[in-house]
Amino acid sequence: MSTKATIAYGKTFHFYHEVLDDNCVYLELEQVEFEASCNRVMVPIPVHIWEVIRQYPGIDLSWADQSDAEILDHVRQSVDDRIRDYAATDPDKKGWVSLCGGLVFGQADAPRQEQIQQGVAHYQRLREHQQQVKAAIAELQQAQRNSA
């Protein structure tokens, strides 16, 4: 099973991110020469590939500015929906349904408060990561303005 989530793809390139890697995107180029030395790689990106890639939106930063109250509201609603969906599921499918969303909330048959705590912790970590990314973007943009 591949863990690559394609952003853009062509005959000689693949632009993607790894499913569990929120810190990087990856660009595979075929039939392109490159220069490599210690701690440095230079890869020319053909203009037509660059034009395709740059049309895609960047990282989702929608949680970066969410308050604790907004996170809690979202998590409560999501957990209540999960519990309702789990209760309405056929008994022979409950095991599978219980796992859906498990990385964020835990199992759907866990106590509501436990799922809420786990969900809030997940979204707070996500918010912190997105805030760090947003700050790094702003820092790079400021450096570009200062060097111009």
Q: Per-residue pLDDT tens for 19-43?
A: 888 888 999 999 888 888 999 999 8
- Integer-rounded Cα radius of gyration of the chain: 21
- Which residues, 6+ apart, have CB-to-CB distance to 56 below 8 Å? 7, 8, 15
Asked which of 90-94, 109-113, 124-128, 129-133 is least confident by mean pLDDT, the reply is 90-94
Tokens of 63: 């949680």
- Name the pLDDT band for 57 (thresholds 50, 70, 90): confident
